[in-house]
Amino acid sequence: MESFALHSLSTSTSFSLSSSRFSLHHRSRPIMTNRSQLSLPLNPQSRSNPSPKSPLISQVFSFPSKASKFNTSSRPHYSPLHASSSSSNSPSPPPLQGAKPIPFVISVCIGLIVRFLVPKPVEVTPEAWQLLSIFLSTIAGLVLSPLPVGAWAFLGLTTAVVTKTLTFGAAFSAFTNEVIWLIVISFFFARGFVKTGLGDRIATYFVKWMGKSTLGLSYGLTFSEVLIAPAMPSTTARAGGVFLPIIKSLSLSAGSEPGNPTAKRLGAYLVQNQFQSAGNSSALFLTAAAQNLLCIKLAEELGVIVSSPWVTWFKAASLPALVCLLVTPLVLYKLYPPEIKDTPEAPALAAKKLETMGPVTKNEWIMVSTMLLAVSLWIFGDSLGIASAVAAMIGLSILLVLGVLDWNDCLNEKSAWDTLAWFAILVGMAGQLTNLGIVTWMSDCVANSLRSFSLSWPASLAVLQAAYFLIHYLFASQTGHVGALYSAFLAMHRAAGVPGVLAALALGYNTNLFGAITHYSSGQAAVYFGAGYIDLPDIFKMGFVMFVINAIIWGGVGAFWWKFLGLY
């Protein structure tokens, strides 16, 4: 999801293997899960062959010297990142400051071309056309990244105010949006899960229960994420803070190391499976990913009201998502098979880790109770008159009062505040485009084109959903994609005769499913690709294969299920 940077969230537990015994070593690990601008303070040296990809999660595994199956040369160590070779006396060039020239010029030119060279349609006002040009320039910057996302969005907002396209109040109106604040608070919940170790404990229990075979291990990890997802609304945090450390520990104990041929023994399959399954875990629950909440909010702005949104979202997603979650590990087991089929040591390894972790701590119990309260309020809040954002505020307040989180934890969650800035700007612009009639005009144009082909609304639904999905190859952010295109595509669906609630939910589910098609398509994509176990061609190949399989299941099973639920 999202442009994330989760820094030093918690202390993780690493596994190491010595003879027939398992010894566990605790080590703090910084977590870097930025979506598009990845910055690593350290350069992990590969265990054997250099890896072209730097892992986003620094994990240190120490192995005892006696009777160890791994020699000391296989142990990762960390050294500072040097700017130049020691043999070179010439000073290195200073780093580029400010915007990247070529992406900057291209992004600005796109807006200028639309504003001054493309003829304005007669149905569109000059103010609306000018705002559209600024918005398109902003979206181009999100793709090309001349500046960090927040900085570029701020430039777009400033341009809209300076040119008097928007008033100051209209430009900043989305900063009071409840959904955006719910997204911000979800970052803090994710930090609480990782800081307390609760997410790690839950996943380790599933490894203990289901980890005797590689296939069982993959199902255990997949369904542990399903269990955590509704109360941990960040796919990136789940990937970086919980599942990748466990996968790396298990893989290394089996002699499967990143960046060399042994990666295929176990690690590549487990990483690929968790990566491809995460989209369905996020699609299953409204609160499993921040972009889901935004979809519901944008749909409301277009007059599509989803009653009891948490329950409706879950009911509509339950059957197709669960079928996909059951199918994905098996499909990858056949098409992307691990060399190791049985992992009899994994349950013992997990049991030893749980023993070292000790009993459930007070903070973990507080985290469990708080999230049960928050999820209950998200489900039943409408009948109680408590909005979702207010429920999240109550949960965060409890965590702060009881000391599970402190205010420095919130302040240090820079990605949350960055998201507040750029996301509010995008949502505000998109809302103003709707108010000024741009979205209606665009949807009418597309609907007329579809009618010229005499397409029924189910066929139009399929075409528009496919277009919405495939466009994501140009995006490096799920939330950015939603902010840029969700409203326009929903309006196109409605103009083509697709039932509003069905269109809104289908687009929302699609938003999660395209998070695994490339190594840059989502926050979790950056995390899993950076681990060094899966290669770039494999990501694109398996991403496309799973896109086809997910499309068949969601299109077939989903259509039947949604008809049964009365969504159309």
Q: Which residue has the tokens 């442009």?
A: 3
For residue 225, give both structure tokens: 């994420």
For residue 55, give both structure tokens: 């892992």
The β-bridge relationship of strands 11-18 and 42-44 is unpaired
Cα(300)–Cα(312) distance, rounded to whole angstroms?
14
> What pLDDT, on a 0 to 100 scale, did the predictor assign at position 338?
94
Cβ–Cβ < 8 Å for 202, 368: no
> What pLDDT, on a 0 to 100 scale, did the predictor assign at position 60?
33
- Sequential pLDDT tens for the chain (568 residues): 444 344 333 333 333 333 333 333 333 333 333 333 333 233 333 333 333 333 333 333 333 333 333 333 333 433 343 433 444 455 666 767 888 999 999 999 999 999 999 999 888 899 999 999 998 998 888 778 899 888 998 999 999 999 999 999 888 988 988 878 877 887 788 788 888 988 888 888 888 888 889 999 999 999 999 988 988 777 887 888 788 888 888 888 788 999 889 999 999 999 999 999 999 999 999 989 888 988 998 899 889 999 889 999 999 999 999 999 999 999 999 999 999 898 888 888 889 989 989 999 999 999 999 988 988 888 787 778 888 889 889 999 999 999 999 999 999 988 789 878 887 888 788 788 878 888 778 878 887 887 788 889 999 999 999 999 998 887 777 887 888 789 889 999 998 899 999 999 999 999 999 999 988 888 888 888 888 899 889 999 999 999 999 999 999 999 999 999 998 8
pTM, 2 dp = 0.69
Residue 252 vs residues 33, 245, 265, 393: alpha-carbon distances, Å:
21, 11, 10, 40
CA-nearest of 409, 408, 414 to 194 is 409
CA-nearest of 187, 162, 157, 179 to 428 is 157
Cα(325)–Cα(329) distance, rounded to whole angstroms?
7
For residue 284, give both structure tokens: 């299953």
Cα(164)–Cα(162) distance, rounded to whole angstroms?
5
For residue 431, give both structure tokens: 């809302």
> What pLDDT, on a 0 to 100 scale, did the predictor assign at position 187?
79
Cα(559)–Cα(568) distance, rounded to whole angstroms?
9
> What pLDDT, on a 0 to 100 scale, did the predictor assign at position 548?
95
Q: Which residue has the tokens 């959903």?
A: 465
Cα(59)–Cα(229) distance, rounded to whole angstroms?
23
Helix (H, G, I), strand (E, B) or coil at 27: strand
For residue 255, give both structure tokens: 């002699």
> What pLDDT, on a 0 to 100 scale, did the predictor assign at position 516?
93
